[in-house]
Structures are given as structure tokens and as C-alpha cells.
Structure 1
């Protein structure tokens, strides 16, 4: 067994691993990851190491492509937002939130042939499904090593719509937003990542 193979095998949860013991891997440099998803695993390792160190989380690793690094951040946000959605479903429904709003702003759902008004939870689910499907599309993102220039135009709309999920939770489900483990860190992470690239969400719905 080579050292690279050994390192890879040690970074897998064994069958029967308890939740509290999962992912207890030592953080290693990016070049030591022996995986087709090395950049994703490296980002997740950084988050587990110190999720509050935003400068470190968004800093471009040496030798990496900025567009690919940003792609991994968007994919990670989609993964983590699913946990927030599970908690939102306990009180966000067609009756309590018949429209997708963030304070005085109302948003139409772009998941349909023609943009239409969806209740907030449907908008959120449609948005996450759409973003995940797009980011996993081999047509637009055929490789996780290099991003085609023609696909970069999708980053801003994806980020803007994901931001609205945070905004809705902040303004209309504040207790869930603040109690959800990682929600605030994820939000700050997203703002830091977009700010570093000097891209704006074009929205006033910023809780800080």
C-alpha cells in the first residue's frame, strides 16, 4: 500500500462510525489529497478545522483556478443549505409563508417555464434543486478541474438565489436561523466569498 493510498483510506468513515466521531480527520495540505474530488474534500476539511476563519476558507489555494475554487464553494453551500431547509419545514409552509419574501422584497420562482409566485418553502426547494442540478450538469460543468468560460455566467444567478434563502430565514424565521448550527457561519462564508470577488447580491436583505 502506498502512502497516498493509506492517506486516502484513513479519510473515510468506517461502517458503524458514531455521528460524533465522524470526519475526525487531521487536516492535510491540498496536495496530499489523493481523490478525484480533492478540492471539495480540502474545502470541507478547512470548514471542519476552523469554520470561523473566513479569510482562510475563501483564500485561493496555490496553483488552483479561481473559477474552480468558487465552483466548489457554491456546491458546498448547496449541500449545507439542505440542513437549514429541513428545519425551516417545521414552520415554513403554504399557510405561514404563501409568498417568497425577505422583509419587503418578494421573489418569483425561476424554476418554471415562466417565473411565477411560489410559497416560500417551494421556492427554496426549487432553488436548491435547480442550483444543484445546474452545478452537477456535465453540459455546463463537464469537469471539476477547469470551468468553461461560457459557464461562469451561471455563478451570479445561483449565488443570488441562494442568498435569498438566507434572507427569508433571517427575516421570517429568525429563531430557526439563529439556532441552526452553521447557518450564520455559512451566511458569513458566502458573503466573504462573494465580497472577495467583488460581486454584489443586489439586495438590501443583509442582517449584518
Structure 2
């Protein structure tokens, strides 16, 4: 049998021009070990989401001996990618005239750290600035020159990104509930993010103000749950920076930490 004949028996993992939505990425699943790519962790996470976006434990279950820092980094990249879809939906009604501040309930007001001195921004601008800033950091050659191995000092920056992008969920939930409900019903993204943040201690539990049934009510179990063998770094503590401990106006320091 010729090489050409052998190759034709392998599944072609490529989306052809003109592919319909139902056929997008419609190919047999692979194990993480069989994925031959520098971006195989991203591919594995996205494959797990396509398999069943509601199966949070499966999506967050790391392959055996997976580096914990890389696993957290790749999940955070994926959260930012998917939050762009929520941002597009919010643009329809989250207008500067009606949402002149980034708020969550009547008790939380967040200052935007995208400016030289953190200041108030319309909610939709805060959302765009936050996702742009997260993308800039996560794609920075200075802090993340490799997607195979990540320095502990760079991993410590993930907590700050998590806290900021979580505010997009909280604003959507408390001020644009129909949009949030429709999006969450399809993607289960806030539930996945909340479990992820609790599991790795990336956001103080008091700051997780969007109620997630079966998650917020059982924070202790989620924080101590171990889903698979995972290669942890020697220093488990993340420098999350200071966060407002009670539902008051968010302090500038909480927005401007590295």
C-alpha cells in the first residue's frame, strides 16, 4: 500500500471553506497524547468543550502529568476567547448612555485599569478594555514566551486577569439578565469559570457574586476537589493582589495590580 493510500485513511482535521456550522470541527476525537502540535492543550480543551459544554468536570480534568501552570494558562486563554461572544451580545443593549459605569448590583463599581490612572468607564468599554488587556498579557513574549513551560512569576499574574474578566459575567448577570441567561444556557461558561477559579484559588470566594447552583453553595468541596493527577509547581500560592473583601466600591489598588 502506498503512502498516499495510507494517509487517506487518516481523518482530515481541517475545516474546509464553506463548511456549515454543524460540520465545524466535526471529526473523531483524539487523546491528548496523540495530539501532535505545540498547541495541543488548547486543542484538547476545545475538543472537550465541543464534546459537551455542560460537562464541567470533564473539561477541567487535566490529562495525567499535565503541568498545572500551562493547564491554567490555556484555560484562561479559552475563557477570554469565549467571552468575546458574550461581549458581542452585550453590545446590543449595554450602551454608554444606559450603563455609564462598570457595575454589578448597586454595590459594586469597578474602575478600569486600562488607563494611566484607573478610572470609571462605560461598562461596554470596560469589557472591551479588559479583554484587550488580557489578550495582550496572555500573548506577551515577555511573560509567556512559551506555551510548553511557564515561569512561576508569570503564572502569578493569572489571578489578576481572572478577577477582572469575572466582572464581565457579574455585570451581565445583574444588569442584562436575559442576555446572560441565553448565553449561559448554551455555553455554561460562567459555571465553568467559577469552578475553575475556585479550584485553583484564583479569585477570593467572597468576590464570586454570581450565584451558580451547586457551586457557590458548596465552595469548600470545589476548592479541595482533585479531578486527576497533575504536576504541581513547588510554590502553590498565587499572588492575587488585593481585592475588595466586602461588597463596596472597588478600590483603585484592586484594579491596578499586576
TM-score, with length taken from structure 1: 0.93
Q: 3-state SS of the aligned residue for 2:207?
A: coil
Whether the aligned pair in 2 keeps the contact of 1:84 and 1:183 (CA below 8 Å) is no
Structure 1 stretches of 5 or more lacking a match? none
Separation (CA, whole Å) in 2 of partners of 1:194 and 1:7: 41
Q: Does 1:165 align with 2:168?
A: yes
Residue number in structure 1 paired with 2:210: 206
String of CA shifts for 1:31-73, please: whole Å, max 9, x gaps. 1112221110000000011211111111121121011000010
Alignment root-mean-square deviation, CA: 2.2
Instruction: Give the 5 Å matches for 1:129-144.
Output: 129-144=132-147
- Structure of higher RCO (CA pairs closer than 8 Å, 6+ residues apart): 2
Match of 1:71 among 65, 70, 73: 73
On the 8 A contact 2:158/2:202 being kept in 1, the answer is no
Number of residue pairs aligned between Structure 1 and Structure 2: 208
Q: 2:80 and 2:11 mapped to 1: Cα distance?
A: 26
- Number of the residue aligned with 2:182: 179
Q: Map residues 14-33 of structure 1 onto 2, 5 A cutoff.
A: 14-33=16-35
User: TM-score under structure 2 normalisation?
Assistant: 0.75
Query: For structure 1, which segment, 106-115 or 191-200, has the greater mean C-alpha deviation from structure 2 after superposition?
Result: 191-200
Note the residue ranges of structure 2 that are not aligned, 5 or more in a row: 213-258
Name the structure where helix makes up a greater proportion of residues.
Answer: 1
CA contact (8 A) 1:178 1:184 kept: no
